[in-house]
Amino acid sequence: MARESSIPHILSMLRIILHLSFAALLSVGIVRTFLERTQLAPLICILLTAAFTACLYFVGTFSEIRFAKGESSFDPRSLITWWLASILVLWAGLTLSSESFVWVSFPLFFLVIYAWPPIAAAAAIVGMITVIACSSVLNSVFTPGVVIGPIVGAIVAVTISAVYAKLVDEAVRTRAAFEELRAAQAKLALSQQQEGRLAERQKVAAEFHDTIAQSLLSIVLIARAGQNRSEPQALHADLGTIENTAAQSLTSVRGFLAGEELGGSSAEAELAEACTTVEAAASAIGTPLRAAFSTEGTKIGLAPSLEYFFSRAGQSLLSNALLHSEADYVSVTLHYWGSAVSLDVVDNGRGFAGKHFGYGLNSLSERTEELGGSMTLRSTPGSGTEVSVFVPITGDSLARPAATSAPPSEQQPTWRSTPAQQEESW
């Protein structure tokens, strides 16, 4: 998270020091005048003038602070020239009456340089030094030091004011950069949130495509086939298949909405059951399809998420074979290669010559790549279709230490070296 610059806090402290120095030097002048003056009438006049000066300074400063904080709608900046001119006139009267107020000129130098244009500020500083010199002549013997001191003070004020102006400019630029950075961070956070929502939506879409959509399509096909049934036993079998398919889909939806962790059972058991379910659905719609499941290699204990991935991949590919391939045989093979696991689904259907994947295969390919694997599809019109999903095994992919693989570690699936002939358009 970006941190705001400390320059505004430094400027705020400088302004506070300026106001406190004015109040302190004015108070010192009042005390010295009270101690040095013996005549009552001039003393009261000086004290009242000093008090009025202090009140006027306080009112102007307080109004500016409230406006800067947004606590007041009145903008005192339009009156700053008259306000400062009044302060200078009152200060001049006090200084001519008593040298004790000479030192109040130092904070006033800063105010003049900050509030007025350079020419007006220079004229005001010259006038203030003149007033100080006149005060020295009127109240004591004139010496060069009386004028040199304020001149040095004016030079210091000009130098510090220049630094202050640079800090103000830097603070403005830093504030603008900070606001831009904060806006960019907010935009990035919103973008990441939207990407997260999109990823979650795609995950839900893929899950529903592999389960609910495929099940609903099977139910529709079975129901259409059942409309032509005349035998009560065949119709009863179709209804049973529809009921089982709907019940499985309902269980999947409830588990998904309840946030149950995916991958609660073995991929081998799920794939074997999927083959049985596909055969039953094929029989219900009058398609003579036989599905066989087998494994090769020494079994590896996989993480639940990977078990779930292979079971869902097999179910999706079996549904494709049932609904699109017109095949009468499909084999599902889960290969354990020691350092990898692959799933091959091969049918002897009509094949195809398309060049584009459908949503299901695109989704499966993306999920395979997320796991660091790859999906290969080969199909030739009239020669069936083969889809192979290959996922390398990492430490996070294992549920427990892998068993010693029977084949040597160099063994790799031969189909990975063969380029895809065609791409399915399921």
User: Which of 276, 270, 278 minimizes the C-alpha distance to 251?
Assistant: 270
| Separation CA 232–CA 415 (nearest Å) | 47
Q: Are 180 and 271 within one domain?
A: no
Judgement on whether residues 19 and 129 belong to the same structural domain of the protein = yes
At 213 the pLDDT is: 65
> What six digits make up the tokens of 111?
């105010």
Same domain? For 177 and 275 the reply is no
Cα–Cα distance between 102 and 145 in angstroms, integer? 13
- CA dist 134 and 92 (Å) reads 10
Tell me, yes or no, whether 59 and 163 share the same domain.
Answer: yes
Is residue 237 assigned to a domain? no
284 neighbors 217 (Cβ within 8 angstroms): no
Residue 204 within any structural domain of the chain: no
Hey, what are 286's tokens? 């009058």
In Å, how far are 172, 180, 182, 190 from 2, measured between CA atoms? 16, 10, 7, 16
CA distances from 402 to 296, 333, 336, 405, 406 (A): 15, 20, 11, 8, 12
Distance CA 34, CA 44 (A): 9
Domain end point (choices 186, 217, 240):
186
Same domain? For 384 and 279 the reply is yes
Distance CA 79, CA 77 (A): 5
Q: Which residues pair with 236 in a beta bridge?
A: none
Type of residue at 302: L
Count of structural domains, the chain: 2
Q: Last residue of some domain: 168, 186, 204?
A: 186
CATH number, residue 388? 3.30.565.10
Profile the chain (426 residues) by mean pLDDT over runs of 10 residues. Answer: 53 76 89 82 88 90 80 81 91 88 86 85 88 82 68 75 72 80 83 73 64 67 68 73 75 66 71 86 80 91 86 86 86 92 92 72 86 89 90 72 41 38 37
Structure tokens given for 350: 């009509």
User: For residue 9, what pLDDT is reported?
Assistant: 62
pTM exceeds 0.85: no
25 and 154 inside one domain: yes
Provide the residue range defining the domain that includes 112.
Answer: 7-186
* Euclidean distance between CA atoms 173 and 392, whole angstroms: 52
Choose one of 163, 186, 209: the last residue of a domain. Answer: 186
At 60 the pLDDT is 85
16 within some domain: yes
Residue with tokens 């004229």: 123
Model pLDDT, residue 228: 67
State whether 290 and 143 are in the same domain.
Answer: no
Question: What is the rounded distance in angstroms from the CA atom of residue 108 to the CA atom of residue 158?
Answer: 11
The confidence score (pLDDT) of residue 209 equals: 59
Confidence at residue 55, expressed as pLDDT on a 0 to 100 scale: 93
Which residues does 349 contact at the CB level (< 8 Å), separation at least 6?
A: 321, 324, 325, 326, 327, 330, 384, 385
Do 269 and 414 belong to one domain?
A: yes
Domain annotation covers residue 255:
no
Say yes or no: 273 and 416 in one domain: yes
Asked if residue 398 belongs to a domain, the reply is: yes
From CA 96, how far away is CA 45, in angstroms rounded?
13
Q: What is the spatial distance between Cα 253 and Cα 403, in angstroms, rounded to a whole number?
A: 35
Assess contact for 29 and 100: CB atoms under 8 A: yes
Q: How far is CA 306 from CA 333, 345, 367, 418, in A?
A: 16, 17, 11, 25
Residue 245: inside a domain:
no
- Classify residue 321 as exposed, middle or buried by CB count within 10 Å of its CB (0-12, 13-18, 19+): buried
Residue 107 lies in a domain: yes
Q: Which two tokens stand for residue 70?
A: 């947004």
Q: Would you say residue 259 lies in a domain?
A: no
15 lies in the same domain as 151 = yes
